[in-house]
Structure 1
């Protein structure tokens, strides 16, 4: 899809990425740190991350079309290069969101005995690893979205406005 109501689809799709990726990242970190929140979020956690995962390639593809229909300069090329790096971060968000959802949903009743203590230690290691990975991937995805958006704004607006305000004249001739 390249145009929506005569507008380049990229400028519309990018809004989904700008909202969904940070929201997915926040939900992932909250769910990883606070399993009760992950259980309350339920299936929303991986579905939100999946929506982000779908939105990124759609936006990137629409951006590639738009890149071919605007004057190419260093700012546009930089924005396109940065945009190509977001998908692995969002794929990580999705995988971790699905893992957090799966593991918190499968939490079982505590067991007794020596094997329970070993299992609890192993479970704690896995939980700490999930929290650390979730924070790293979430931060990476959000920072990448910011960098891509900043470069896109610079590419779109670098020569599209004046530093000085312009005079507006009354169109009624008064």
Structure 2
């Protein structure tokens, strides 16, 4: 994918990532920590986690196309490097959501999940969600610096 309606696809797709990854991370953490939220939100959260996981490599591929189109400027190297790592952060987020879905299904069948398992799921969700949100910030910050350094005076 190279362009959408004449604009570089990466420029448009990255906005979805910037919004959906932190949203998904927050929902995964919320579902892990609050059983009432899990009961209501786990399915939309799981769908978002799958969407984010599928959208990430598409966004990275569009970014690589865009970087080649720009002539591979070195100022984008750090942004591209961090962007290529993004999949390593959204996959654990999706796995966390899947584990919460399994806990939800198990609970729905009348098989309570033990406190230790719930605690481990919460720790995993917090770690995965926090890491995914942080990496999203790092990638976006490096991209913004690559685009705007020298354009806007401080």
| TM-based fold match above 0.5 | yes
| Per-residue Cα deviation, 1:100-149 (whole angstroms, up to 9, x for no partner) | 02212320447xxxxxxxx87xx211111110011011010000000000
Q: Which has the larger radius of gyration?
A: 1
Q: Which residue of 2 aligns with 1:163?
A: 153
How far apart are the structure 2 equivalents of 1:162 and 1:40? 45
How far apart are the structure 1 equivalents of 2:100 and 2:35? 8
Structure with a larger share of its residues in helix: 2
Cα pair 1:39 1:105 within 8 Å, conserved: no
Higher mean displacement: 56-65 or 39-48:
39-48
CA RMSD, 1 decimal: 1.7
Number of residues of Structure 1 aligned to a counterpart in Structure 2:
153
Please list every run of 5 or more consecutive structure 1 residues that lacks an aligned counterpart in the other structure: 111-118, 165-174
- The ranges of structure 1 where at least 4 consecutive aligned residues each deviate by more than 2 angstroms after the TM superposition are 71-75, 161-164
Cα pair 2:67 2:73 within 8 Å, conserved: no
SS of equivalent residue, structure 1 residue 106: helix
Q: Which residue of 1 aligns with 2:44?
A: 44
Q: Which residue of 1 aligns with 2:57?
A: 57
| TM-score after normalising by structure 1 | 0.82
Distance 1:162 1:142, change over 3 A: closer
Please list every run of 5 or more consecutive structure 2 residues that lacks an aligned counterpart in the other structure: none
2:140 pairs with 1:140: no
| TM-score after normalising by structure 2 | 0.92
